[in-house]
Structure 1
Amino acid sequence: MQLNQYKNIVILGMGKTGFSCAKFLVQQHIDFVINDSREQPPMLSDLLAIQKAEHIYTGGFKRELILNADLIILSQGISLQTALLIEARKNNIKMINEVDLFTTYATAPIIAITGSNAKSTVTTLVGHILKHAGLKVLVGGNIGIPLLELLAQPEPDYYVLELSNFQLELTHNLNAKIACVLNLSPDHLDRYENYAAYVAAKKRIYCEAEIAVYNLDDKLTYPEYPCRTQTFSLTQNTMGFHLLETKSGIYLAKDKEVYILATILKLKGKHNWENALSASAIAYEVGISLKIIGQALINFTGLFHRCQWVATHRGIEWFNDSKGTNIGATHAAILGLGSCCQGKLILILGGQSKGADFQPLISPIKKYVKQVIILGEDALKINNTLKSHTIITLVSDLEEAVSFALKLSEAGDIVLFSPACASFDMFNNFEHRGQVYMDRVKELIAHDCCSDV
């Protein structure tokens, strides 16, 4: 795709993605206009520094602008079901996003990773393993460095990219060396017509991929495009990457060859062992030996806000899983930590539920959770689903939730903050939410220690 063949390029959206696309086109000396539905989009002042004011349109999508375009570059926050975009597609106006821009200019092979949960952890872990093996790697996309900014850096041996379903919706030419769908569970159902549409968006990652790495335990992740495959699994131990239990413990294994004892990893819980298996499968297909993969796994401590250990006090462990913004993430966190907890879990959840059904949490809650503490915009909705199956307390804010969890817990218990919801009802983002939780935990522990003096 040659951008200079298009005469009327319109970028839609002035958030981080739109600004990144605009900055890239300026660097390529490509003319464009940019449009946002908001009066004061977040990156407006930055855009005014690189683009003429008369080429910047705010306060609503401009019909004439969009329908006269011959190329629309769409930010990932804007739905394809927007009325003007439906009309533009009917008029055969070409639409792309930042992924297509990136792949047009990138020359190094791409490792592309998506999934409903754990994609940030696995993407980071794959980058960590490849760097440990001596390869030059750039990690980015939906995590860390925006896609187009990666192109400004020296060419690596591999790009390792986390891609969201929004980024994959319009992707036409990803052509990944290795593509992986980690898992699929209902999410963003406020954006899609149905769950099948969400799944289809995720699985576009496999299109034209050379190698597909998928989850044997989740049939929805199976590739439907012809390519070489590799698998990982927590439950099947006959092929691919899996757990293998021996007299000396539980190991990560490839086929029948063990390569590291699972219990010595700093990543705790079976859901994190699954993350290690998927990252191992990807690294193995790059050509890295099991020995080096095992060495790299030992040194990986995980990511902030993703089942992150916060503190241990009076025999009670506190974990921050603020990145658990959907049901699948919280389900995995409960099972992962519950299976290695000496006592019971106290679960803190709630926020904006994005139309999710909380029924799938009932079974793991009944098995592992002592009590559920709920807060946020959709607290009553969540309470109505879970109240017949566990003890529930509704609280007004996160500080109150942490204080109440401290009163409930006893030695051997784990307090797990895994909201299963978006954060925007009470916080700037999931990072802000997680930091508030951690600060409150440490504050209460410090106060509790002082009271003993």
Structure 2
Amino acid sequence: MKRVVVLGAGESGVGAAILAKKLGMDVFVSDKSVIKEKYLKQLKKEGIAFESGQHTHGLILNANVVVKSPGIPDHIPFIKNIKEAGISIISEIEFAAQHSTAKVIGITGSNGKTTTTMLTHHLLKQAGYNVGIGGNIGESYAEQVANQNFDKYVLELSSFQLDGIELFRPHIAMITNITPDHLDRYEYDFDKYIDSKFRITKNQKASDYLIYDADDPVIVEGIKKHSPKAQLVPFSLQTKQEFGAYVDQKDIVINIRKKELRMSISKLSLQGKHNTKNAMAATLASQLLKARKQTILESLENFEGAEHRLEHVLKVNGVEYINDSKATNVNATFYALECMNNPTVWIVGGVDKGNDYAELYPLVREKVKAIICLGLDNTKIKAAFGSIVDFIEEVESADAAVKIAYKLADKGETVLLSPACASFDLFESYEDRGRKFKDAVRNL
């Protein structure tokens, strides 16, 4: 009997364990941290052996295959020990894909991938397809393979998940953009991070598709370097595409198989240049899968965006409060500030991932009237913006940030939480940070 050891008992790990159990494998789950109650219940219910708060080497090094949580870095000594023992280490994505015949639309990128994944799923579901959504979002892909019968999956894929693939082959791959992010996991080498993103297309064939942003020089160079076998499907705001998507004055134009689909940008439910690109990418995928034009157009108009991504919370005394907690890097915050049309009180900060704030300077000069630092160490933010913005205040809770913002913002202005940093200094996750911000706004 094949022995599968799962490292990490979060959403992906427990999902992989449930699938392994269903396939009749000998499965063991090991988590160095204390396993959360929700996942403990699932493991006990399924009768899966586990350990919490430790890794017992003897119980792990006898595995045929190890399914590793994306949160565990490859460079730690224990992972090296497993590799030296000749044991294959894969991601939950790889493990689930090996046991599923469903078509996969795989979406990666530094920013925009959650919205694009949700939008693509929305378009396909509205078009009547039997389609699941997973990966870095929602319920575990592996658990859905175990317990559902979807014909298609739309998967949001992080670079960490792609690092653990071997044979995984999406029928449609999508790269929304590539900007420096998570460089602490890639030895501060941007090229290694880029290579990681391009793993999404490494197993694709000529019958598959790669949808990508033709305006992104990093992706364009990456395509030259990696020479994908898949058919290239570009989208662009800047240049006309014979096969792909582009903007013609105030319309999106989609050209696939000599069929043109045209839609006014003003009708999109999500506004902003980056969302125009997300809509193009999602529409291209839907068109390639032969969804009806009319259904696509209606679905683009009625889609509601992702929580914690430029999410409108409330208007209080004429001030708009926006939750963009999912902006954990500079590029995501650039998009958010670009969308601001009124003077903005900007809440920023957290765990810096090697950020370079220089690209934000023009937008901050133009749009930001005050900065509230929500983090334990704000030295870098103060140094970056101290000479640009007159008012910078430091706080250590979402509640305090919102109370100060309330005093600073005047009618017709905006309060924007767009941290450009990870959340782990003061919060459990970006979701926790976003929810606490929203609670604080509602309590004003």
TM-score by length of 1: 0.87
Q: Tell me the equivalent position of 2:400.
A: 400
Structure 1 spans left out of the alignment, 5+ residues: 445-453
Q: Secondary structure at the match of 1:305?
A: coil
Q: Hey, what does 1:244 align to over in structure 2?
A: 248
Is the 1:259–1:291 Cα contact (8 Å) retained in structure 2? Answer: no
Report which stretch shifted further, 293-302 or 265-274: 265-274
From 238, 259, 267, the counterpart of 2:262 = 259
Partner of 1:370: 369
1:127 has 2:121 as partner: yes
CA distance in structure 2 between the aligned counterparts of 1:414 and 1:97, rounded to whole angstroms: 41
The answer to whether structure 1 residue 113 and structure 2 residue 107 are counterparts is yes
Q: Where do residues 336-415 of structure 1 align in structure 2 (5 Å cutoff)?
A: 337-338=339-340, 341=341, 343-396=342-395, 397-415=397-415
The structural deviation recorded for 1:370 is: 2.4
- Secondary structure (helix, strand or coil) at the match of 1:35 reads strand
1:46-445 matches, within 5 Å, as 46-51=42-47, 56-193=50-187, 194-209=189-204, 210-222=208-220, 223=223, 224=226, 225-239=228-242, 240-245=244-249, 250-254=250-254, 259-335=262-338, 337-338=339-340, 341=341, 343-396=342-395, 397-444=397-444
Change (3 A) 1:244 1:68: same
Q: Distance in 1 between matches of 2:412 and 2:54?
A: 54
1:433–1:123: structure 2 CA closer, same or farther, 3 Å change rule? Answer: same
- Read off the aligned partner of 2:252 and give its amino acid letter: L
- Whether contact under 8 Å (1:231, 1:281) holds in the other structure is no
Cα deviation digits, residues 86-138 of structure 1 (max 9, x gap): 24324432111211221111112111111111211111110111122222211
The alignment yields a C-alpha RMSD, in angstroms, of 2.3
For residue 375 of structure 1, report the CA deviation from its aligned partner.
1.5
Deviations 1:145-183 (A, max 9, x none): 111121144433321111111211111122111000111
Q: Tell me, what secondary structure is at the counterpart of 1:267?
A: coil
TM-fit CA distance, 1:289: 4.4
The percentage of aligned residue pairs carrying the same residue is: 35
Check conservation: 2:12, 2:142, Cα contact below 8 A. no
Partners of 1:310 and 1:319 within 8 A in 2: yes
Distance 1:212 1:114 in 2: 11
Deviation string for 1:390-432 (max 9, x for gaps)?
2342232222222222333334422211111222222232222
User: Do the aligned partners of residues 412 and 59 (structure 1) sit closer, same or farther apart at CA in structure 2, a change above 3 Å counting?
Assistant: closer
Shift of 1:216: 0.8
From the superposition, tell whether residues 57 and 257 of structure 1 become closer, same or farther in structure 2 (CA, over 3 Å). closer
Separation of aligned partners in 1, 2:310 and 2:144: 28
Letter aligned with residue 347 of structure 1 = W
In 2, distance between residues paired with 1:355 and 1:65? 37
Stretch of structure 1 that moved more, 326-335 or 83-92: 83-92
Cα shift readout 1:296-315 (whole Å, capped 9, x = no counterpart):
10011212111011223444
**Which is further off, 22-31 or 257-266?**
257-266
Counterparts of 2:294 and 2:88, CA distance in 1: 47
In structure 2, distance between residues paired with 1:243 and 1:316: 33
Specify the code of the residue in structure 2 equivalent to 1:398. Answer: A
Partner Cα distance (1:432, 1:85) in 2: 29
Deviations 1:199-219 (A, max 9, x none): 222221112221100011113
What secondary structure sits across from 2:89 in the alignment? strand
Residue pair 2:369, 2:391 contacting (<8 A) in 1 also: no
The structural deviation recorded for 1:229 is 1.4
SS in 2 for 1:395: strand
Unpaired runs of 5+ residues, structure 2, are none
**CA distance in structure 1 between the aligned counterparts of 2:334 and 2:12, rounded to whole angstroms:** 30
Query: Which residue in 2 is equivalent to 1:449?
Result: none
**Given that residues 269 and 303 in structure 2 are in contact (C-alpha distance below 8 angstroms), is that contact kept between their aligned partners in structure 1?**
yes
State the one-letter code of the partner of 1:244: D
